[in-house]
Chain A
Amino acid sequence: MTAEMSVIGVADPAALAALVGGANGLGWLAAAAALFDSGSEVWAATQAGRTRALVRFTPAIGLQPPRHWYHVGCVVHASPELRRRLPLATLQLNNDLTGEAELAGWLTEPGLDPHDCRAAWRALLAAGLQRLAGRLPAGTAAPRLLVELPGPRDDRGASPFWQGLGRHFYAGDPAAAQARFGDAWRSHVAALLPRQLVYCAFLPEAAQQAIGTVHGDAQALAALLHEAGLRWSRHIRIDDGGPVFVAEAPRAGMADPTA
């Protein structure tokens, strides 16, 4: 019988060290410490006193600095005269999801079995949805909860999406920018990316394939998000083309593990 999963807030790195570094005695402390950021909270899913998973909850993203995504759209070129009709996928750089809430930086205890892992993620996701439901004044538009998922990479860690699009505009490495600037990396890199509509047809086949595709390592999380009612918003990450999943509104029937 699996013990019940609880979600607790982690106040600061010291509290995190007490949680993670103590009982678990694990090497994921450094990665977990990097979750702390102004304007965000760090949540832990705990089970029988052990910290199973960590996530960062941000109530409103993209306020400072702005965050960028590509919206995957469609334009239809039709000529009645030539009896031709051509739907074309397009990418448009924008800040559509500014102000939404986000769960990011999903970390799990090394060696955690898949069943417990899923339970921990589910608990963290439910907590996020619950939080939004709690602050929702009657009659207002539901705040949305989003989760970004990584896009495909090759064996050397290169993203076919970046190779096909971004690198023509910025010769540097987005991962290096991320390491240096934290969350602000997106706005720095996006300053160099195309601001006008990009026709996907101009991208190499591999880059087109990567649009909205989830990295193999994140398939399990993607499946869980789908199960919880989150759907691809037709936005993708600017570096690897990974999809952004969004919950339109808190779903009924999700148990609140924090209750």
Chain B
Amino acid sequence: MSPDDPQRYRLRPAQPGDLAALERLAAASAIGISSLSTEREQLRDALARSATAFEREDDDVSGEETYLFVLEDRARGHELIGTAGIAASAGFHDRFYCYRNEFIVQASAALNARNRIHTLHLCHDLTGVTLLTGFHIDPAYAHTLAPQLLSRGRLLFIAEHAARFSDRIAAENPGLADDSGRCPFWDAVGRRFFDLDYPAAEAMSGGRSHKAWIAELMPQAPIYVPLLPDEAQVAIGQLHPVGQLPFDILMDEGFDVDNYVNLFDAGPTADGRVGLLRSVQQRRVRQPLTGDAGAAQGRWQIVASRARAGFRALLLPQDGGELRLDAAQAQALGWRPGLSVSATPLAGPHGADAADGDAAPGDAAGGDIGHGVAS
């Protein structure tokens, strides 16, 4: 396997044995969209909850499940190079808070004047929505196809096990803050109600999951954005550069970013319909054959097993209608003849655009979520 062969990466559910590797990843200040805890106990807890979620039968799910995935480099002894998660139901125990962008237009005919006022409404719109969480990739792999597999592979899992998830999906993205944690939006809004620094407040929120007390302290009436300092206004919906990579993938999938922002730093919270996401729309259930997959033509697809706890996903060259897996690929996917897999072309410059979807007759859309060919 050549060093730059995308087939070296594999996505799989995290396991309790990944603790040490995850600690290393956290300590290495990986590129990520939320702070990956460096606390051993928190990581251990997250791994245990994820293991439970993957094992739980469809009949037993409640929505409180959180799924943690890890990305391995098979060319380097299965070294762990990234992680990302899914929360089945945002705010499961309570509510999920965010600000909704709204615009109010007022006018006075007599004064021949009209305004368009941006307001932020504290809301629970995204409560119960499936949440993409904790994307982290080793920076050395940022410019490879590894992050594509890490981020989009989760969508194949969601599509496959749709009954366990909402048909709406969202992802928080980091807003503007400097290295010391100074955050212009927090200083203009949150601090007035909490009198705490942003990092302290975020820590208090329990890693963005336990925010019941926010309702008690944060402004309940709409915030009139023009009343905020310029610096804070500019920060609303602005992405921190550290989140650019995972954000671009979400954009490409068709997430909407104009609706919601994060309560603390006003970073954009992307949202969408699972069934309308690019990877889900172009997902097909395939019946692979044994054999040589053939040479890569520079266009790639994500191929995933349909198992739950045994979920595996790889990047493989796009095929001309006949998906073949060699012995090593079959083993990496946990595939054996007779099993079907799900596959979706990788979007962007490394994959096909929507019009190129090579859906052969018989490649029926994958039952529960497939919506036919993308427009």
- Taking Cβ atoms with an 8 Å cutoff, the residues of A that contact B are 75, 77-79, 81-82, 84, 86, 88, 90, 164-165, 168-172, 177, 181, 184, 188-189, 191-199, 201-203
What's the least CB distance linking B227 to chain A, in Å? Answer: 4
For A90, the chain B residues whose CB sits under 8 A away are: 221
Residue B117 lies at the interface, judged by CB distance under 8 Å to chain A: yes
For A195, the chain B residues whose CB sits under 8 A away are: 106
- B111→A77 contact, CB < 8 A: no
Docked CA distance A81–B94 (Å): 15
Closest to A78 in B: B216
For B110, the chain A residues whose CB sits under 8 A away are: 181, 184, 188
Closest to B224 in A: A194
Q: A169-B115, A170-B115 are in contact. Are A191 and B219 (CB under 8 A)?
A: no
Partner of B227, one of A79, A181, A188, A198: A198
Docked CA distance A78–B213 (Å): 9
Closest to B212 in A: A81
For A172, the chain B residues whose CB sits under 8 A away are: 111, 113
- Taking Cβ atoms with an 8 Å cutoff, the residues of B that contact A are 106-108, 110-111, 113-115, 117, 119, 192-194, 204, 212-213, 216-224, 226-228
For A169, the chain B residues whose CB sits under 8 A away are: 106, 115, 117, 226
Extra inter-chain contacts (9) besides given A77-B218, A202-B228, CB under 8 Å:
A79-B213, A171-B113, A172-B111, A172-B113, A188-B108, A189-B111, A191-B108, A195-B106, A198-B227
Closest to B107 in A: A191
- B107→A194 contact, CB < 8 A: no
What number of residue pairs across chains A and B have CB atoms under 8 A from each other? 82
Docked CA distance A185–B168 (Å): 47
For A189, the chain B residues whose CB sits under 8 A away are: 108, 111
Closest to B214 in A: A79
Most chain A C-beta atoms within 10 Å of own C-beta, residue among B106, B194, B220, B228: B106
Closest to B218 in A: A77
What's the least CB distance linking A238 to chain B, in Å? Answer: 13
Q: A84-B217, A192-B113 are in contact. Are A168 and B227 (CB under 8 A)?
A: yes
For A202, the chain B residues whose CB sits under 8 A away are: 192, 223-224, 227-228
What's the least CB distance linking A72 to chain B, in Å? Answer: 15
Docked CA distance A43–B66 (Å): 75
